[in-house]
């Protein structure tokens, strides 16, 4: 992302950034890598297919906007929106990948029983992976300062926020030893 906006002209900066594929890295991880690393029940091919379609469509919309519509000043890489957004994006991506790793390690190969996630942000929230993804995409939206990115971040929150809530309720109902102090999605808040 950094090289996408530094020292280049307004529109060519966007072309360089989108062609580098930086926004697609988390999508690639979620769509192509994570499903093949999970243990337990097989990952449905239909979900993989629709996830791939969604990633292609959303990536096209984000890339199209950045290449053909967005204009950034030459000093955008020093703007507080870009630097704070980039830091949030990287933080969220790290949380998301680490949380997915912890979830994958819950089960031994072939095991299908549910277990309580432990460690990382799972110490504080039931949906640590969802929290990471939301932070990631709000960071991307701030860094690009674009309506399509903010719309995607908002809809990410609207789609996976309720999933975190339902997972939290399920854990509380299923496991009598589930930590009562653990929040749903946002550490110490909700």
**pLDDT confidence of residue 35:** 53
Is residue 12 scored above 90 in pLDDT? no
> Could you tell me the pLDDT band of residue 50, with boundaries at 50, 70 and 90?
confident
User: Do residues 24 and 55 lie in contact, with contact meaning Cβ atoms separated by under 8 Å?
Assistant: yes
Mean pLDDT of the chain: 82
Q: Between 75 and 16, name the one with better pLDDT.
A: 75
**pLDDT confidence of residue 112:** 79
Spatial distance between the Cα atoms of 27 and 83, rounded to a whole number of angstroms: 21
Helices marked H in 119-187: 128-144, 147-174
Is residue 14 scored above 50 in pLDDT? no
**pLDDT confidence of residue 2:** 38
Read off the tokens for 180: 């009562």
Radius of gyration for the chain, computed over Cα atoms and rounded to the nearest angstrom: 18
**pLDDT confidence of residue 155:** 92
Whether the predicted model's global pTM rises above the 0.85 cut: no
Q: Which of 17-31, 118-132, 172-186 has the lowest mean pLDDT?
A: 17-31
Is residue 33 scored above 80 in pLDDT? no
Q: Which of 5-19, 66-80, 152-166 has the lowest mean pLDDT?
A: 5-19
Q: Between 24 and 92, name the one with better pLDDT.
A: 92
Question: Measuring CA to CA, how many Å separate 159 from each of 32, 33, 68, 116, 174?
Answer: 20, 21, 28, 22, 23
């Amino acid at each position: 992302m950094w090289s996408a906006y530094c020292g280049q002209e307004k529109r060519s900066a966007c072309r360089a950034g989108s062609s580098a594929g930086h926004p697609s890295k988390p999508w690639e991880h979620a769509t192509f890598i994570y499903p093949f690393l999970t243990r337990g029940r097989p990952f449905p091919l239909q979900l993989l297919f629709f996830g791939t379609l969604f990633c292609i469509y959303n990536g096209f919309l984000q890339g199209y906007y950045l290449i053909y519509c967005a204009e950034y000043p030459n000093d955008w890489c020093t703007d507080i929106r870009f630097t704070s957004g980039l830091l949030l994006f990287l933080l969220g991506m790290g949380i998301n990948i680490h949380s997915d790793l912890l979830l994958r390690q819950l089960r031994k190969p072939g095991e299908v029983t549910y277990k309580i996630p432990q460690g990382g942000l799972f110490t504080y929230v039931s949906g640590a992976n969802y929290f990471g993804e939301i932070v990631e995409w709000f960071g991307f939206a701030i860094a690009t300062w674009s309506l399509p990115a903010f719309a995607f971040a908002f809809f990410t929150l609207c789609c996976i926020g309720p999933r975190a809530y339902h997972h939290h309720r399920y854990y509380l109902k299923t496991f009598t030893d589930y930590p009562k102090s653990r929040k749903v999605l946002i550490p110490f808040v909700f």
